[in-house]
Amino acid sequence: MKVGIDAISFYTSPYYLDLKELAKVRNVDYDKYAIGIGQEKMAVAAPNEDVVTLAAHAAERLRTQVDFSQIDFLIFATETGIDQSKAAGIYVHHLLGLSSHCRVLECKQACYSTTGALQLALSRLKEFPDSKILLVASDIARYPLESPAEPTQGCGAVAMILSTNPRVMSIDRESGYFTQDVMDFWRPNHMREALVDGHQSTKIYLTLLEKTWDQYSEASGRNFLDHDHYCFHLPFSRMADKAHVRLAKSCGVLEPSGGHIEKTKVYARDMGNAYTASLYISLLSLLNLTQKDLQGKRVGFYSYGSGSVAEFFSGVIEKGYRDASFAQEHETMLKKREAISYETYEMYRGFDPYNEEMTAPTDSYFQFVGIEKEKRLYRKEHN
Give residues in contact with ligand CAA (CB under 6 A).
Answer: 29, 31-32, 35-37, 111, 148-149, 152, 185, 196, 198-199, 201-202, 205, 233, 235-236, 239, 273, 275, 304, 306
For the bound state, the minimum distance from the C-beta of residue 161 to ligand CAA, rounded and expressed in Å, comes to: 25
Q: Judged by CB, which is closer to ligand CAA: 53, or 308?
A: 308
Q: Judged by CB, which is closer to ligand CAA: 111, or 171?
A: 111
Concerning whether 233 is annotated as a catalytic residue, the answer is yes
Q: Judged by CB, which is closer to ligand CAA: 227, or 233?
A: 233
Dmax (CA) of the chain:
60
Q: Judged by CB, which is closer to ligand CAA: 77, or 161?
A: 77
Q: Judged by CB, which is closer to ligand CAA: 102, or 279?
A: 279
For the bound state, the minimum distance from the C-beta of residue 266 to ligand CAA, rounded and expressed in Å, comes to: 18
CA angle 295/301/307 to nearest 5° reads 160
Q: Judged by CB, which is closer to ligand CAA: 53, or 152?
A: 152
For the bound state, the minimum distance from the C-beta of residue 237 to ligand CAA, rounded and expressed in Å, comes to: 11
For the bound state, the minimum distance from the C-beta of residue 306 to ligand CAA, rounded and expressed in Å, comes to: 5
In whole angstroms, give the CA distance from residue 322 to residue 186: 37
Options 107, 111, 155, 231, the catalytic residue? 111
The amino acid at residue 105 is: L
In whole angstroms, give the CA distance from residue 9 to residue 159: 5
For the bound state, the minimum distance from the C-beta of residue 204 to ligand CAA, rounded and expressed in Å, comes to: 7
Helical (H) or strand (E) element with 285? helix 278-289
Options 93, 227, 229, 233, the catalytic residue? 233
For the bound state, the minimum distance from the C-beta of residue 38 to ligand CAA, rounded and expressed in Å, comes to: 9
Options 49, 57, 60, 79, the catalytic residue? 79
Helical (H) or strand (E) element with 170? strand 169-179
Cα-Cα-Cα-Cα dihedral sign, residues 210, 212, 215, 221: negative
Radius of gyration (Cα) for the chain, nearest Å?
19
- Residue 142 · residue 192 · CB < 8 Å: yes
Buried b (16+ CB within 10 A) or exposed e, 27-53: ebebeebbeebbbbbbbbbbbbbbbbb
Concerning whether 107 is annotated as a catalytic residue, the answer is no
- Residue 365 · residue 380 · CB < 8 Å: yes
Judging by beta carbons within 10 Å of its beta carbon (0-12, 13-18, 19+), is residue 189 exposed, middle or buried?
Answer: exposed
CA distances from 34 to 20, 29, 41, 72 (A): 9, 9, 9, 43
CA distances from 293 to 317, 319, 320 (A): 10, 9, 11
Active site residues: 79, 111, 233
